[in-house]
């Protein structure tokens, strides 16, 4: 289990895994009043959380499939990227892709956060890349079946 330092400036419980092997920690809206999302509207929803991820880790803010299926609510910039050196408040950029208003209430679980390892890379400029079976084929070039 990875230890992550957190400052909770809000009034919600810390994010938690819904089940034993959940990959994502559910993030709750930390609001003084509900946010109404009209169709196609977006809003940056605060969580009250500030975290310090260890070096070599990022966090991804992903939609909850239930909100997407039932209400057309998703994370506009999914997967949102939380950098290890970010110390600001974690926020969730929700968008309403339904034809109905959606109300985000205080304490609602609006998204999930997956913590993952990443590598920083350096580029080595070369004149030719190694040959592969795929070559430059892409965008469906291997067919459908």
Ligand X SMILES: O=c1ccn([C@H]2C[C@H](O)[C@@H](COP(=O)(O)OP(=O)(O)OP(=O)(O)O)O2)c(=O)[nH]1
Residues that bind ligand X (CB under 6 A): 61, 77, 80-83, 86, 90-91, 93
How does DSSP assign 26-39, residue by residue? EEE---SS-EEE-T
For residue 118, the minimal CB distance to ligand X (Å) is 12
Q: How far is the CB of 47 from ligand X (least distance, A)?
A: 8
Nearest to ligand X of 45, 102 (CB atom): 45
Greatest pairwise CA separation for the chain in angstroms: 58
82 is in an annotated binding site: yes
> Annotated binding residue at 4?
no
Find, among 111, 105, 73, the residue nearest to 91 by Cα.
Answer: 111
Residue 28, marked binder: no
Q: Find the shortest distance in angstroms from Cβ 77 to ligand X.
A: 5
Instruction: Tell me how many helices (H) and strands (E) the chain has.
Output: 1, 12
Q: Where are the alpha helices (DSSP H) in the chain?
A: 65-71
Report the binding-site residues: 64-66, 77, 81-83
């Amino acid at each position: 289990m990875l230890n992550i330092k957190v400052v909770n400036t809000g009034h919600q419980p810390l994010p938690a895994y819904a089940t034993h092997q959940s990959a994502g920690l559910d993030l709750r809206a930390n609001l003084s009043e509900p946010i109404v999302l009209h169709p196609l509207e977006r809003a940056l929803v605060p969580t009250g959380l500030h975290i310090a991820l260890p070096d070599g880790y990022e966090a991804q803010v992903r939609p909850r499939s239930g909100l997407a299926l039932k209400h057309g609510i998703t994370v506009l910039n999914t997967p949102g990227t939380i950098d290890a050196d970010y110390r600001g408040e974690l926020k969730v950029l929700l968008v309403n892709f339904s034809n109905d208003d959606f109300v985000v209430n205080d304490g609602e679980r609006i998204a999930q956060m997956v913590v993952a390892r990443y590598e920083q890379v350096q580029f080595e400029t070369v004149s030719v890349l190694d040959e592969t079976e795929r070559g430059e084929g892409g965008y469906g070039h291997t067919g459908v079946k």
